[in-house]
Structure 1
Amino acid sequence: MTTIVVIVAVISGYVLMKIGMFLPWLFGPILAAVSVSRTSSKTIRWPRFLGDLGLFILGTQIGATFTMHVLKDIRNDLFSIILLNIMIIGAAVILSLIFRRITDCTYETAVLSAIPGALSQMIVMAEENKRADLLAVTLSQTSRLLFVVMSVPFIASFSGGDVTGQTQRAQSVFDVLNWDEVGFMAAMITAVFLLLRRIHFPVPQLLAPIFAVTVWNLMTGEVFSVPYALIAAAQLMFGVRIGLQVVDLSSQLSARLFIGIAVQNTLLIVVTFILAFLFSAHDFNDLFLSLAPGGMAQIIIVALESGGNIAMISSYHIFRIFFILLVIAPLLQVVLKRFDKGGQIS
């Protein structure tokens, strides 16, 4: 069945590309996975390593955009990165109250369902908190990624540039580096990946190549890009996994939880739109994608296709991950444990 899914995904992506559809190599595989899954009596298992391979490819392209010049620009923009991320997370916490009212869940469930950008950390916290509904948190966090994939690209496409984005602004990695250098970089990525996985850092498949390739750029000054064919392949591998998640989640979501998730995420995207409009120092598309509730990987795919500033957008999302892990998650843990002991929130 995996072979059939791949064939249908390639055909779907090609057809959507020919008719000018935005993100054809993401939406084509999503539609293919849903269609094949719905019409087949067999359960489709998409190998996890294929989805992970797609993340490694995307991470390499992201890391390739972090040059010394770009990092200096990001340093000058640090205040905005901190302020706007705090505003987005604050808005998510406030909107969790609406989610709680709609779904009639506990406050713990609502807050852990609302925080964007650290899916695995929120799920772990839900497992540890006896007042949190683990299934609701998992479905809410996972569904947000799918909601973002379905909605953000169409908003970004109205303000974006060339669909090929930055993937064609530098020579291919295979033209710039020799095979020994490619092998050395692969070893660097592997080492960083193993380190991040050992310390249970989120999305190591994406962040490891970002960190490793950024270090390579700063050490060598060699600028390259990942060939667009590989970017399309990464989207295909990632898109099939998303499509199968859609099928799986659709059978588990209750109507009440679905409405709560839709309302919460729609309002969060509206807040993102307003903030991007008000803080107009940057291109609207770049700032909107920088603030959009991730999946970081999903947002970067949109940025690649819409001609976004990959380094800037990535820096906002990477900061959000660190901020959630180092500040928000520990703070939430303390607050929720205190309420749990005191029984003050129901």
Structure 2
Amino acid sequence: MGLQTGKTLILALAGGTIFQLLHIPLAWLLGPMTILLVWREVFKKKAEWHRGFRNAGLCVLGYMMGITFNAEVAGQIAVQLPSMAAATLLTVAFGLVAGWVTVKRTGISMASGLLGSIPGGLSQMAVLCDEVEDADMTVVTFMQTIRVMAVVFIVPFLAFHGLSSGGTEAGSAVTAVASAVSSVSWMSSNTLWFVLAVAIMLVLGPKLHLPTPYMLGPMLGAALLSVAGLEAPSLPHWSVLTAQVLVGAHMGVTTSLSSLDNWKKLLPYALFGAIGIVLFSLGTGYLLTLWHPMSLLTAFLGSAPGGMTEMGVTGAALGADLSIIVAYQMFRLLFILFIAPYIVKGLLRLYRGRTDSPVKGF
């Protein structure tokens, strides 16, 4: 590790620590990104980060998501597949419409507007910026961060104060979350199989041209073994935080503020879009309760555009059905990772064909 890379790592860890102390959501992802962005853009200092570190972080995050996909979750997806597809398509369509309105009102590139408005994970959408022409990582990260903050604050508030019956114990959270992810020690015989599956998918992912192969490959390898019945070795908490730092540092080093000259104009549209998609998800959740015998709390947490971790913990604390929540969140994640890039690229080709000119940025 070179001197510049070492300085970058120290800054990234400092940013994560500060955000953690301030209780900011996704502290170890947003903290490193923010402090390195300020270091480069405000203080005009150099920062270096090898792409391999980012890929290693994506691998860990992919494995973490993959072992969540067990036989119970697969069963829920099989039973409720039509409703999952409908809920996901409606939510994504709402996000794309909000993105289109933002593009027309602010002048950002169409690629940035669409990726910034799709209800996917912050890290997933930032990674997709590398694969979609004309997408501006700074704009996408800004819009997705606004959405994440809105989801993190609004969804639990509505769940706890509006949808909870008040008859559950918060202490059940640990047991419920533990039951959602089967895990064993790394000293078990299953470890070799999971390591082998992840290694194989790391090789095959780029060759198969999978979107975000260093995350999606390990996720698929781990998910296949989990569905087959093998108990997955759990990841220590520090490794997940380390992975977020590795990805966050990459985002901070590769993001530029030069394209956010009119952030004041972009902010209200990003904010209204984020709040709108949360409220739209609440409406979608209500429709799901008419389709399947589930509570509005479970349906809302399943369809809300947040991560499995945040929605799972909220659902566990309130006694919601975790298998359904994880199943809906996993389906949306798979849809966004596999299909959303092609939808965005198709829409961009259609848009460029009609305008007969390159998509413009700020």
TM over 0.5: yes
Q: Distance in 2 between matches of 1:331 and 1:164?
A: 43
Q: Distance in 1 between matches of 2:15 and 2:127?
A: 31
CA contact (8 A) 1:59 1:208 kept: yes
- C-alpha distance 50-121 of structure 1, shift in aligned 2 (>3 A): closer
Q: Distance in 2 between matches of 1:165 and 1:64?
A: 17
Kindly report which structure 2 residues correspond to 1:114-263, keeping only aligned pairs within 5 A, or say none. Answer: 117=120, 127=133, 134=134, 139-156=138-155, 158=157, 159=159, 173-175=184-186, 177-178=188-189, 181-245=190-254, 248-255=255-262, 258-259=263-264, 261-263=266-268
Kindly report which structure 2 residues correspond to 1:326-337, keeping only aligned pairs within 5 A, or say none. Answer: 328-329=343-344, 331-332=346-347, 335-336=350-351
Aligned to 2:78: 75
Choose which of 334, 339, 343 in structure 1 pairs with 2:354: 339
Choose which of 305, 329, 337 in structure 2 pairs with 1:292: 305
- What is the aligned-residue RMSD (CA, Å)? 4.1
- Cα shift readout 1:10-37 (whole Å, capped 9, x = no counterpart): 4554565466554443344344434544
Q: Distance in 2 between matches of 1:229 and 1:182?
A: 18
**TM-score of the superposition, structure 1-length normalised?**
0.73
CA contact (8 A) 1:172 1:225 kept: yes
Deviates more, 1:92-101 or 1:103-112: 103-112
Q: For 2:209, what is the secondary structure of its paired residue? A: coil
Residue ranges of structure 2 left out of the alignment (5+ in a row): 161-169, 290-294, 317-321, 358-362
**TM-score of the superposition, structure 2-length normalised?**
0.70
- Cα shift readout 1:260-287 (whole Å, capped 9, x = no counterpart): 5434432332232112322144675884
Aligned to 1:271: 276
1:53 has 2:56 as partner: yes
- C-alpha distance 18-215 of structure 1, shift in aligned 2 (>3 A): same
Letter of the 1:254 partner, please give it: D
- C-alpha distance 171-184 of structure 1, shift in aligned 2 (>3 A): closer
CA contact (8 A) 1:9 1:33 kept: yes
Using the TM superposition, give the Cα deviation of residue 224 of structure 1 relative to its aligned residue in structure 2, in angstroms. 4.1
Q: Distance in 1 between matches of 2:22 and 2:142?
A: 28
CA contact (8 A) 1:300 1:314 kept: yes
CA contact (8 A) 2:54 2:247 kept: yes
Letter of the 1:154 partner, please give it: F
1:25 has 2:34 as partner: no
Percent of aligned pairs with the same residue?
18
Using the TM superposition, give the Cα deviation of residue 101 of structure 1 relative to its aligned residue in structure 2, in angstroms. 3.4
Deviates more, 1:39-48 or 1:303-312: 303-312
Q: Distance in 1 between matches of 2:114 and 2:81?
A: 27
Choose which of 291, 314, 317 in structure 1 pairs with 2:333: 317
Aligned to 1:296: none
Q: Distance in 2 between matches of 1:3 and 1:336?
A: 43
Using the TM superposition, give the Cα deviation of residue 173 of structure 1 relative to its aligned residue in structure 2, in angstroms. 4.5
Q: For 2:235, what is the secondary structure of its paired residue? A: coil
Equivalences, count: 323
CA contact (8 A) 2:102 2:266 kept: yes
Q: For 1:251, what is the secondary structure of its paired residue? A: helix
- C-alpha distance 167-190 of structure 1, shift in aligned 2 (>3 A): farther
Letter of the 1:335 partner, please give it: L
- C-alpha distance 301-206 of structure 1, shift in aligned 2 (>3 A): farther
CA contact (8 A) 2:98 2:273 kept: yes
- C-alpha distance 120-174 of structure 1, shift in aligned 2 (>3 A): closer
- Cα shift readout 1:31-73 (whole Å, capped 9, x = no counterpart): 4434544675531012222222222112111111111111111
- C-alpha distance 225-47 of structure 1, shift in aligned 2 (>3 A): same
Letter of the 1:189 partner, please give it: V
Q: Distance in 1 between matches of 2:115 and 2:65?
A: 28
- C-alpha distance 150-44 of structure 1, shift in aligned 2 (>3 A): farther
Letter of the 2:351 partner, please give it: L
CA contact (8 A) 1:193 1:205 kept: yes
Q: Distance in 1 between matches of 2:175 and 2:57?
A: 18
Residue ranges of structure 1 left out of the alignment (5+ in a row): 128-133, 294-298
- C-alpha distance 106-4 of structure 1, shift in aligned 2 (>3 A): closer
Using the TM superposition, give the Cα deviation of residue 143 of structure 1 relative to its aligned residue in structure 2, in angstroms. 3.4
- C-alpha distance 76-217 of structure 1, shift in aligned 2 (>3 A): same
Q: Distance in 1 between matches of 2:84 and 2:103?
A: 29
